[in-house]
Amino acid sequence: MKSVLAALLFALAGSAGWAADRVPRPALGAARGEQCVAEPAFMRRNHMDLLKHQRDETVHRGVRDPRASLKGCIDCHASAETGSVAAAKTDFCVSCHSYAAVKVDCFECHASKPAGKTMAIAR
């Protein structure tokens, strides 16, 4: 009886693991341009450190490295449909971040669309 119960539980757990699509997997659309700043695997792990290290350089010292520019990221990675990296659940930044449940508050201040696609006036 116990072994049957155990077997049932294992089967349930196993199938739950395989049917793990309650949370949509990140669906990263193709980006414009040829090569990103670095290898995708590296970027996946380290993009937050690059951004955070670079922002102090840019803001306080005025060093504007074009390859570490958030605007640069957005220019290439903005989705074709929404024109943004953070508007819809399938957009570049939001899709991975909602999957990993890591909140980003970059776009409270930063524009999530490339230049030219935002309204002229904020209100």
Kindly list the residues in this chain that would bind other proteins in the complex (CB under 8 A). 37-38, 42, 46, 49-50, 53-57, 59-68, 71, 74, 108-111, 113-115, 118-123
CA dist 45 and 108 (Å) reads 23
**Of 75, 68, 37, whose CA–CA distance to 53 is shortest?**
68
- Of residues 43 and 96, the one with the C-beta less far from other proteins: 43
**CB of 101: closest distance to other proteins in angstroms?**
17
CA dist 71 and 65 (Å) reads 11
In whole angstroms, what separates CA 96 from the centre of its chain? 4
**CB of 46: closest distance to other proteins in angstroms?**
6
**CB of 32: closest distance to other proteins in angstroms?**
16
- Of residues 84 and 95, the one with the C-beta less far from other proteins: 84
- Of residues 75 and 96, the one with the C-beta less far from other proteins: 75
User: What is 70-121 written as a DSSP string?
Assistant: HHHHHHHHS-TTTSSSSSSTTSHHHHHHHHHT----GGGTS-SS-TTSS-SS
- Of residues 17 and 66, the one with the C-beta less far from other proteins: 66
**CB of 116: closest distance to other proteins in angstroms?**
9
